[in-house]
Structure 1
Amino acid sequence: MDARWFNSATVLLAGLLSLTLISQTWAAPALRPDMVASLERMQSRLDAGDPAALADDARAAAQRLQGGNAADRWARALFLQIAANAELRRDDPLAAAELLSRARGLDGIEREYRRRWLRREARLRLRAGQTARGVELLGQWLEQGDAAGDDDRWLMAQGLAQLERWDTAAKWVDRARGEGNVANDRYLQLAASIYQRAGREDQALASLDALLAGAEVSADTWRRAAGLAQRLDQPGRAAAIWEAGWRRGALQGEAALRQLIQLHMAGGTPARAAEHLERALADGRLQESLANRRLLAQAWSAARNRDAALQAWRAVSERSQESEDWRQLGELAYAWGRWGTAIEALRRARQAGGATPRDWLLEGVAALEQGDRDAARAAFEAARQAGAQQAGAWLDSLESSNAGVGVASAKQSASD
């Protein structure tokens, strides 16, 4: 977590410079007219451009009132508040926090003033990097329960996250998001980080999903959401997230495109992977290579688009002239009843690097399906010589007077 978050969270520090010193709505000791005038003069100097001098003068005025009566203590507290605001103008939140601590520690100060200064001190200490103390004080203020705002709950969650107290931080995120409250983008990022570190990954992904609905989402956020979906064993969701990021232009380049293709392959949408591949190969975004063509063939095969898959594997096989590519084409053609293609591919696999017993068996079945009993017998004989156990059953079935029943049984054995 970045400690600078506190410095940039201006919304969380709103009101720190506001002063309503004299006309308070809460009960307070009456002040002498000369004391009121002195306080008003100092208050008016906040915009005069010399906060250091004002802070010194306010401190000195507070010191002179030490040991006085209730009205003097109240005036002293107000001088300390002026000094705190002057220090804040000097961008010294720690000095301001110390002054407010002194103010709320005076005897006889009304509870509402103490609460106000407690909240401000907590925020200032967080801003100054005193995270543990700031969290402690903010927790005290929140426990008192009166008019606690959502921003205070988010600030509490942020502070606890900086202390790596993830479970407690997540509970404060729950409170901040409770009762239908809508978080802004900054808070959604914070919620996702805290939930994830607390092991509540489903809620982390939900927070990221809400963030992805925004107008401007960084590439890192899209990647993070997709990665989290993968860790949750939701590959389809990961693919959908990456697809959305790709379409919106947040994810670009060859690496992002390849990741999109792989996610669609893993996520159960191989046809989308194949479509992206075909377009990228056609327009030159991906290199025209054997590896990419083989990936395209695998994608169409996984999508069970028979025509596209067989065409893609033929293109790969013609290019590579490798027996395994021809064999893959033959296997698919056999499985889908494309007998002529199966026979051709298996023969070319044999020519490219030797035949397996299974190749001969499949070729024999395909030939038999085409009605070529002589070619089938030759293939089954070659399969038997190669050691295929089922070959004998096929040859017997061809010689049997009840060939229809025998062939059906042997065909099932060959497929297995």
Structure 2
Amino acid sequence: MHRLIVLMALWVTSIAYAAEQNIDPLVFRALDAAQTAQKQGDYTAARRALDAASGQPGSLEEALLWRTRGYLAWAEGQNGQAIELLEKVRKSGTLDAELQMAETLNLARLNLSEQRYPRVLSLLTPLHADADTHEEVLQMLVQAYQGLGQSVKALPLAERYVQANPQAADSWLQFLVAINADAKRYLAAERWQRQLLTRQPNNVQGWRQLAALQQLSGRHDKSLATLRAAYQKGLRFSESELDRLVLLAGAAEQPWQGAKLLAGMFEQGLLPRTHMREEQLGLLWWQARERQQAAQIYRELAARSGNAKHWLHLAQLELEQARWQAGLEALRHAERAGAERSKVRAWRNWAESEMSVEREKHVASAG
């Protein structure tokens, strides 16, 4: 619908401009007849009218006929032909500044629809310095950069637009959040996400997104505070949403932050303890090299479940801390619980070897 409105307006502009410039009457009548036919949806008649007229090379008449044929091709969905004709018009240099600008914008629209992103940039980049109030120019530039996989280059344009237009649509803020996050500029992304939340303070997904950004920036305390603030407002997250926040820390190679967040959720009552989540907490502490905390988790799990895997994990954690007797005791429990004997034997042999080395060092130092 927007395209049709634009095209109708341009037909009228062509006729009005032709009348003002006092062009050849034959060309004027051709333009007028083509407009009438186009309004009636008779594109064949419109082309016939245009084919009956011609302009001198380099003349305004020639440019207006090209222009009208270009918009007729656009109306028919022949965008490639429309681009070719409007490029010729733009290069002719026969139009005034206002119409020349219209051709530039419409060529950009057409090239964008055909995913010709470099041409969109070449057409619009000279304009964006004065485009603070021209939302569509900035939108097209942003789309072109995105199409080229260079979204970061669109950030200054989008930021300038939003700063100049405080009531800019939410989509602009969402774009700034997404691109800053993709570029690992989490603090900047968080700033824009907070602006979105001031507009939609009861949007649960917005709060979760803010917590996720804080988690990605390694600030588990801020993330937990955000979740707690949302709960105090009466907003509720699903367990799967909270679980994803913890997984996000693991994916971002931040196990310590993930462990702190999960432990905090347990303490705050935001997420119920389950066997699987406690295993996850133990694993996160282990990955973060916090073996004492990990051992405590697995010790409690093993005592409750009697699971061979839990006892074996506990044994490994104790032995990694040179707690030999505690490790060997856990291995005995693991073996009785049905752990794979080869694994138990391998860990026991390693522990006994390390203990032997320590005894020899002790004897040597005592002597």
TM-score interval for Structure 1 and Structure 2 normalised by the shorter chain: 0.5 to 0.7
* Corresponding pairs, count: 338
Aligned to 1:134: 82
- From the superposition, tell whether residues 198 and 397 of structure 1 become closer, same or farther in structure 2 (CA, over 3 Å): closer
- From the superposition, tell whether residues 22 and 315 of structure 1 become closer, same or farther in structure 2 (CA, over 3 Å): closer
Letter in 2 for 1:356: W
Letter in 1 for 2:273: S
- State the identity as a percent: 15
Aligned to 1:246: 196
1:283 and 2:233 equivalent? yes
1:189 and 2:139 equivalent? yes
**Cα distance between partner residues in 2 of 1:359 and 1:391:** 14
Structure 1 stretch displaced more, 126-135 or 137-146: 126-135
- From the superposition, tell whether residues 174 and 244 of structure 1 become closer, same or farther in structure 2 (CA, over 3 Å): farther
Q: Tell me, what secondary structure is at the counterpart of 2:111?
A: helix
Structure 1 segment 223-262 matched on structure 2, within 5 A: 234-236=183-185, 239-240=189-190, 243-244=193-194, 246-249=196-199, 253-262=203-212
Structure 1 segment 65-144 matched on structure 2, within 5 A: 74-81=24-31, 87=36, 99=49, 102-103=52-53, 105=54, 111-123=59-71, 125-127=73-75, 129-144=77-92
User: Contact between 2:286 and 2:294, CA under 8 Å: does it hold in 1?
Assistant: yes
Letter in 2 for 1:285: L
Residue 382 of structure 1, CA deviation: 0.9
**Cα distance between partner residues in 1 of 2:351 and 2:129:** 72
**Cα distance between partner residues in 2 of 1:195 and 1:224:** 12
**Cα distance between partner residues in 2 of 1:357 and 1:222:** 50
User: Contact between 2:255 and 2:284, CA under 8 Å: does it hold in 1?
Assistant: no
The CA RMSD over aligned residues, in Å, is 5.2
Instruction: Decide which structure has the larger Cα Rg and report it.
Output: 1
Aligned to 2:299: 347
Residue 187 of structure 1, CA deviation: 2.7
Letter in 2 for 1:15: T
Residue 151 of structure 1, CA deviation: 2.9
Structure 1 segment 199-238 matched on structure 2, within 5 A: 200-203=150-153, 213=163, 214-220=165-171, 234-236=183-185
- From the superposition, tell whether residues 174 and 401 of structure 1 become closer, same or farther in structure 2 (CA, over 3 Å): closer
Letter in 1 for 2:63: R
1:275-329, CA deviations, whole angstroms, 9 ceiling, x for partnerless residues? 332223343322475973795698697564997765545678x953638617835
1:192-241, CA deviations, whole angstroms, 9 ceiling, x for partnerless residues? 334444555555666655555544444555556656667xx534459548
- From the superposition, tell whether residues 227 and 157 of structure 1 become closer, same or farther in structure 2 (CA, over 3 Å): same
**Cα distance between partner residues in 2 of 1:270 and 1:380:** 32
**Cα distance between partner residues in 1 of 2:89 and 2:226:** 55
Q: Tell me, what secondary structure is at the counterpart of 2:199?
A: coil
Aligned to 2:352: 392
Letter in 2 for 1:292: L
Q: Tell me, what secondary structure is at the counterpart of 2:14?
A: coil
Aligned to 1:152: 103
Residue 359 of structure 1, CA deviation: 1.7
Higher fraction of helix: 2
Residue 255 of structure 1, CA deviation: 4.0
**Cα distance between partner residues in 2 of 1:396 and 1:323:** 37
User: Contact between 1:93 and 1:124, CA under 8 Å: does it hold in 2?
Assistant: no
1:99-129, CA deviations, whole angstroms, 9 ceiling, x for partnerless residues? 45544x16x6982333344334534553565
- From the superposition, tell whether residues 271 and 196 of structure 1 become closer, same or farther in structure 2 (CA, over 3 Å): same
1:178 and 2:133 equivalent? no
**Cα distance between partner residues in 1 of 2:160 and 2:320:** 56
Q: Tell me, what secondary structure is at the counterpart of 1:190?
A: helix
Letter in 1 for 2:352: G
Letter in 2 for 1:379: A
Residue 334 of structure 1, CA deviation: 11
Residue 254 of structure 1, CA deviation: 3.4
Structure 1 segment 293-308 matched on structure 2, within 5 A: 295=245, 302=255, 304=257
Structure 1 stretch displaced more, 282-291 or 186-195: 282-291
Letter in 1 for 2:196: W
**Cα distance between partner residues in 1 of 2:110 and 2:241:** 50
Aligned to 1:322: 275
Q: Tell me, what secondary structure is at the counterpart of 1:284?
A: coil
Residue 177 of structure 1, CA deviation: 1.9
- From the superposition, tell whether residues 277 and 158 of structure 1 become closer, same or farther in structure 2 (CA, over 3 Å): same
Letter in 1 for 2:329: A
